[in-house]
Structure 1
Amino acid sequence: MEFGLSDDQRMLQETVDRALAVAADLEIVRKAAGDDAAAQAAIDDAVAALGLSGIMVPEAHGGAGLGLLDAAVVQEMLGRHVTPSPFMANAGLAAIAIARAGTPAQQDTWLPKLAAGDARFAAALSEAAGARETAGVSAEGGRLTGKALFALETRSATHVIVADRERKLHLVAMDAAGLTAHRMRSIDRTRETAELVFDSVEAEPLDGANDPAAVTHDLIAAGRVLLAADTLGAGQRMIEKAVAYAMEREQFGRTIGSFQAVKHLCAEMAARLEPCRSLIWFAAHTMDAEPDEFPVMAALAKSHTAETGTFVARTATEVHGGMGFTDLMGLHYWFKRIGLNRQLLGGPETVRADAARMQGYGDAA
């Protein structure tokens, strides 16, 4: 059996890559990361022009009807170009949440809006992925109270998908009375996260699923796959930059790429990162093809790629020598993207513990 991307998926990958090479050039990303509204708007317009918001929305609701593997292909390219874009929470997680947990009426209302870009979604799932003593959201009587940390991609969102303490999902307008959003500054300035405080905020429960907690479980798994794909793209780009630098930087009258030690560093980065690609692809494939395996495979893809990405980020920076730590080179954008991806929806230790519990080892989740 040969497992790989289809011709259509490769075309999608190449199309997004070419578009972002122009729209998310490093200098433009640098400005957007520095809160330049015009630069961010230019990136948003270019991503919107690709028509990606409806990639996972069923065709019956105006979307492309594609799967998580297709979304992962796009997310890899976004990571490759460290693009400040709300694709993961909006086109990925919100589409899955509404399609799987929403009632038919909710699907008819919200999925066409998502596909058309008339509604843009953030996602607040961190507490469902790993309990925190100081955070969590409770639902009672159609209202939410509590606090959600590290809500994903809130910057331009009109609505947010929220998981409560019972792992049930709710849809909330970002301008709802009683909802306060505080921007959380992380090391990665290319991805927006926020602390959301709910004070008896009116919410629309997504209560069309027989087992809402199972939908949330799969939603977290999908987020982990997309984060892994983002890290894969960022790591691949860091390797390419390290190799290019090694081929032009000279010491003692020779390019440093001719030194065996540097060759070994570059080869080890490539050898470690490449297996992550098939692991991520297979994890994404199992969401629809082998759903019983999906959460475990997603956890393994996220934890392994996070560790590998950390190695690649550190090693690629070392190949650049002292220049690797300067703002001039810009490597830190990929370095920090990989660092934040590592922790979102659970660090490697947490995610591996989840995988162990799902397979019957340790205490039940």
Structure 2
Amino acid sequence: MRFALSEDQRMLQDSLAKALVDVSPLDRVRRFAADPADTAADVWQALAEFGLPGIVVPEAYGGLGLSMLEAALASEALGAAVAPVAFLGSVLAPLALVRAGSEAQRAEWLPKLASGEVLAAAAIGEPIAGARDGAGLVAKAGKLTGRALFVPGGLAAGLIVAADAKGGLHLVRGDAPGLTRAVMPTIDDTRRLAELTFADTPAEPLTSNDALAALRDAGWVILAADTLGASQAMLDKAVAYAKERRQFGRVIGSFQAVKHLCAEMAAELEPARALVWYAAYAFDHAPEEASLVAAHAKAHLSEIGRFIARTSTEVHGGMGITDLLGLHFWFKRIGQNRQLLGGPEKVREIAARVQGLIGA
């Protein structure tokens, strides 16, 4: 039995990481963060040419037809580069169409999603993580009414997969009447979240009753993988800085306290990598385990990511909180991932419910 990535999987991740160095260096991320009107269209176009939007779209519809593990590896690379793109919708929308869409819906949307012509977003947070400030959607007679908060990619999406309060899924066109969008300010400047308001907005229902659970599990895996990549980047930066920064005539990496901080980060992160990879593998190959291991991955990476973000900043000393190094981009991205689709406490509650440890 093989417990490592295949050569093709490693090549995919390495190639994407190299592409991101060119198309989304830190200076490009800075410009995106500083300009609310910047949509990072150049970054998205380069990733579309790479094939990223179609990573889980079946080959019959023009996609790559890869598994959740390859999608997680791509998300890991995006997190390491703090790329200013909303990848989550590019995974969840095709999954929703494949699992619960009609043939007509698949034929209309999947080729456009695969090519990157249409951006997608998933407004599914409320029935998963709980409604805030009265948010939530009500479906009636083919229309949606209400608000969906903290939607990654929702500002520019041409297709929105929306979940109503009962867990039903619906397709909403980006130009549908009654749909309005607003920016939601958050700590993370590398990805913009939207507040979507629906006022008797036409919506096409999807058919599967369990599709929302699958989208939830996939979303947890993708967010955990993004945190994994961002955490590895912060660890690498801390080690590199400790090898260069000199104090009292020595590099600070020679001091025992700094060695211990770096060693602790590495010891916490390495087992988390296997957890994320297995959760991605289980999504396609072990459905009976998928929900539980996805919950474990999301909750655990939320905690490990916060520890590494804080510790890496401490290793950098006073430089760690300056804009010059840009550590805050990774720090805040990890923080936002922690809360999207449920914080670790909420995710553990759902995991307990999946196991029958608490009631519905």
Superposition RMSD in Å: 1.2
TM-score, normalised by the number of residues in structure 1: 0.96
User: Secondary structure, in 3 states, of the residue corresponding to 2:258?
Assistant: helix
2:282 is equivalent to residue 286 of structure 1: yes
1:55 aligns with 2:55: yes
Change (3 A) 1:328 1:55: same
The 5 A counterparts of 1:9-24 are 9-24=9-24
Once the two structures are overlaid, the 10-residue window that deviates more, 312-321 or 19-28, is 19-28
Q: Alpha-carbon deviation of 1:28? A: 0.9
Q: What is the aligned length?
A: 359
- Distance between the aligned counterparts of 1:335 and 1:61, measured in 2? 37
Question: Counterparts of 1:25 and 1:118 in 2: how far apart (Å)?
Answer: 24
Contact 1:29/1:39 (CA < 8 Å) preserved in 2? no
The equivalent residue for 1:73 is 73
Letter in 2 for 1:227: L
Instruction: Compare 40-49 and 11-20 and name the one that shifted more.
Output: 40-49
Show structure 2 runs of 5+ residues with no match: none
- The 1:69/1:264 distance shift into structure 2, 3 A limit, reads same
**Matched-pair contact (CA < 8 Å) for 2:68–2:280:** yes
Shift of 1:45: 2.3
Deviations 1:149-189 (A, max 9, x none): 11121233112110011111111112211111111010001
Q: Give the Cα–Cα distance (whole angstroms) in 2 for the partners of residues 221 and 194 of structure 1.
A: 21
* Contact 1:31–1:39, Cα closer than 8 Å, also in 2: no
State the 1:37 CA deviation. Answer: 5.3
Taking the aligned partners of 2:195 and 2:6, their CA distance within structure 1 comes to 39
Q: What is residue 269 of structure 2 aligned with on the other side?
A: 273
Residues 159, 173 of structure 1: 8 Å contact kept:
yes
Q: Please report how far the alpha carbon of residue 34 of structure 1 lies from its aligned counterpart in structure 2 after TM superposition.
A: 1.1
CA apart distance, 1:104: 1.7
Matched, 1:156 2:156: yes
| Corresponding residue SS for 2:323 | coil
Counterpart in 2 of 1:189? 189
**Partner residue, 2:102:** 103
Runs of 4+ that moved beyond 3 A: 36-39
1:7 corresponding residue in structure 2: 7
Q: What displacement does 1:38 show?
A: 6.2
Aligned to 1:217: 213
Q: CA deviation at 1:102?
A: 0.3
1:119 corresponding residue in structure 2: 118
2:154, 2:196 within 8 Å by CA — same for their partners in 1? Answer: no
Which amino acid in structure 1 is aligned with residue 227 of structure 2? T
Is the CA contact (8 Å cut-off) linking 1:317 and 1:331 kept in structure 2?
yes
Q: Which residue of 2 aligns with 1:307?
A: 303
Counterpart check, 1:238 vs 2:234? yes
Change (3 A) 1:125 1:238: same
CA distance in 2, matches of 1:172, 1:53: 19
**Correspondence for 1:358:** 354
The CA deviation string for residues 217-260 of structure 1, in whole angstroms up to 9 with x for no partner, is 11011000000000000000000100111111111000000001
**Identity over aligned residues, as a percent?**
55
Which runs of no fewer than 5 residues in structure 1 stay unpaired?
none
Instruction: Decide whether aligned partners of structure 1 residues 361 and 38 sit closer, same or farther in structure 2, where only a CA change above 3 A counts.
Output: closer
Q: 130-139 or 304-313: which moved more?
A: 130-139
Match of 1:43 in 2: 43
